[in-house]
């Protein structure tokens, strides 16, 4: 099935992981062709192959280079929430005046949203004054080049202020523009943010042509570990690779357990299933926000999908700063679907 730390200090760690277990391939989608089976797209989101790009060379484009847009693309197949996700993708942010960003999103598997959340600094995930957020939202992991996803303005709840070039996570929301839910919990509340990251982690350039140099290459891996809810953990780890010959570097490592459980009023009330996808937005300033080469595996074996055998219990990686000592995950083989 086609299914806040600056990068200022680099050290190499060998970190012990939990016991290695089998995982499953959930998705291997290049977005280079004219179709993406199982995906739904709303607003300006589209595949560029066949129109902007030749077939085989396309991207999933979340926003055009126009103001006040909010695009949304998602895989319309629900998965058990407790499988966990390890998501790799390439991204390209270019062509405009530097705004706003995009988000990898998870939302309630029983929901079929018909639109993204709010435009501008809300990245198509959170709300803003008079505009509702993404319906059924659980987590929004924002790649924010402009700097407002972590800003408690325009109706967003919680934040550290204007902060360009950040990885910021916001929590669940009910689809409305309300500051609080009807039960008194923050809607799309801030969970954590990196603060300004050194270098062009998100946007590689703003020329009118998509950057194709090795230096402009950007790749991310996002690990959302929902397998340890019984241990009161919901770990989110974000790694970014800058340059085709660069190494993946951890830029964010957050535990979202307390905020997510508080929103739902108990771990037992977290949705049993989830869907995933991307949102993107522009505001008064613009950029193209594009995704390619997405690979998704579960963190535990998922019945009905191809199983990937574990290949080790420890791993080595380059870590940004001393803040992130202790990050660990299981190693898995990457196998084409």
**Mean pLDDT value across residues 198-207:** 78
**Which tops the pLDDT comparison, 171 or 5?**
171
Q: Are β-strands 314-320 and 10-16 bridged in parallel, bridged antiparallel, or unpaired? A: antiparallel
Report the pLDDT value the prediction gives residue 199, as an integer from 0 to 100. 66
Would you say residue 20 has pLDDT above 80?
A: no
- DSSP symbol at 260: H
Would you say residue 322 has pLDDT above 50?
A: no
Express as a percent the part of the chain with pLDDT over 90. Answer: 76
Instruction: Give the Cβ contact number of residue 213 at 10 Å.
Output: 10
Tell me the domain boundaries of the chain: 28-218+252-296
Would you say residue 123 has pLDDT above 80?
A: yes
Would you say residue 319 has pLDDT above 90?
A: no
For tokens 């998922």, what's the residue? 302
Q: What is the CATH number of domain 28-218+252-296?
A: 2.60.120.200
DSSP assignment of 72-113 equals EEEEEEEEEGGG-EEEEEEEEEESSSS--EEEEEEEETT---
For tokens 């005046």, what's the residue? 97
Chain center to CA of 147:
16
What value does the mean pLDDT of the chain take?
Answer: 87
Report the pLDDT value the prediction gives residue 310, as an integer from 0 to 100. 61
**Mean pLDDT value across residues 68-73:** 99
Report the pLDDT value the prediction gives residue 311, as an integer from 0 to 100. 52
> H helices then E strands: how many in the chain?
1, 18
């Amino acid at each position: 099935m086609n299914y806040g730390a600056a990068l200022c200090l680099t050290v190499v760690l060998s970190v012990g992981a939990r016991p290695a277990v089998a995982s499953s391939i959930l998705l291997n989608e290049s977005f280079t062709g004219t179709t993406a089976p199982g995906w739904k797209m709303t607003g300006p989101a589209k595949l560029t192959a066949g129109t902007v790009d030749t077939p085989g060379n396309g991207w999933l484009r979340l926003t055009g280079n126009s103001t006040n847009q909010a695009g949304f693309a998602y895989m319309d197949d629900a998965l058990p929430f407790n499988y966990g996700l390890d998501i790799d993708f390439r991204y390209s942010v270019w062509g405009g005046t530097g705004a706003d960003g995009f988000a990898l999103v998870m939302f309630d598997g029983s929901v079929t949203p018909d639109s993204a959340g709010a435009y501008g600094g809300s990245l198509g995930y959170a709300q803003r004054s008079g505009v509702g957020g993404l319906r059924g939202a659980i987590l929004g992991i924002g790649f924010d080049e402009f700097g407002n996803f972590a800003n408690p303005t325009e109706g967003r709840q919680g934040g550290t202020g204007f902060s360009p070039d950040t990885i910021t996570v916001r929590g669940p929301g009910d689809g409305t523009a309300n500051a609080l839910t009807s039960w008194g919990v923050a809607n799309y509340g801030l969970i954590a943010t990196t603060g300004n990251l050194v270098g062009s982690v998100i946007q590689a350039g703003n020329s009118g042509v998509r950057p194709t140099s090795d230096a402009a290459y950007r790749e991310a891996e996002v690990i959302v570990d929902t397998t340890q809810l019984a241990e009161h953990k919901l770990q989110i780890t974000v790694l970014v690779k800058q340059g085709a010959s660069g190494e993946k570097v951890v830029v964010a490592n957050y535990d979202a357990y307390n905020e997510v459980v508080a929103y739902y009023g108990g771990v037992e009330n977290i949705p049993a299933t989830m869907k995933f996808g991307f949102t993107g937005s522009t505001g008064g300033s613009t950029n193209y926000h594009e995704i390619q080469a997405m690979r998704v595996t579960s963190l535990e074996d998922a019945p009905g999908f191809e199983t990937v055998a574990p290949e080790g219990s420890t791993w080595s990686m380059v870590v940004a700063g001393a803040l992130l000592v202790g990050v660990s995950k299981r190693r898995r083989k990457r196998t084409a679907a």
